[in-house]
Amino acid sequence: VEPAPPDVLVADGDSLAAYGIDATVLHTPGHTPGSTTLLLNDGQVAIAGDLLSNSGGAHAQRTYADDWTALAESIERIQDAAPVLTYAGHGSGPIVAGDLQAVALDPVDPLSAQGLASYYEALIGAWVGGADGP
């Protein structure tokens, strides 16, 4: 299946007022190269999509990160915008400002994600092989 072409192309800093939306585009790569956050209501609310999750507490979507450095920089950009509420792509409810600050200060460590991947590979290998796992 071929992807559908976009109806509108946006860039960092673009206003969506022409489309009837009180929002500004913030380019926030890291989850994917084209990840975008929308800042609504003069920056009071951010919609960050899959860059962040609020499932089990606010955190970056490290497991699926496309670019570790860009992910950390994007979280800092959202924090610098200082939204009161940030809506993530996963989880329940918004991330409040203080919790967003904690995410931004939480170091992004690709080795911890690799360790998690190794753990699950061992767990699956043990399950397939009939052992108890790690």
We report the CATH number of the domain holding residue 104 as 3.60.15.10
Confidence bin at 36 (pLDDT 50/70/90):
very high
Domain-located, residue 51 = yes
In this structure, what token pair is assigned to residue 113? 């994600």
Residue span of the structural domain in which 30 resides: 17-108
Position 120 pLDDT exceeds 90: no
Average pLDDT over residues 83-93: 92
Average pLDDT over residues 57-63: 80
Amino acid, res. 27: H
Position 80 pLDDT exceeds 90: yes
In this structure, what token pair is assigned to residue 4? 């559908």
Domain-located, residue 1 = no
- Provide the percentage of residues in the chain whose pLDDT is more than 70: 81
In this structure, what token pair is assigned to residue 89? 């792509």
State whether residue 42 is helix, strand or coil. coil
Domain-located, residue 120 = no
Cβ atoms of 34 and 70 closer than 8 Å: no
What pLDDT shows up at residue 4?
92
Domain-located, residue 89 = yes
What is the number of structural domains in the chain? 1
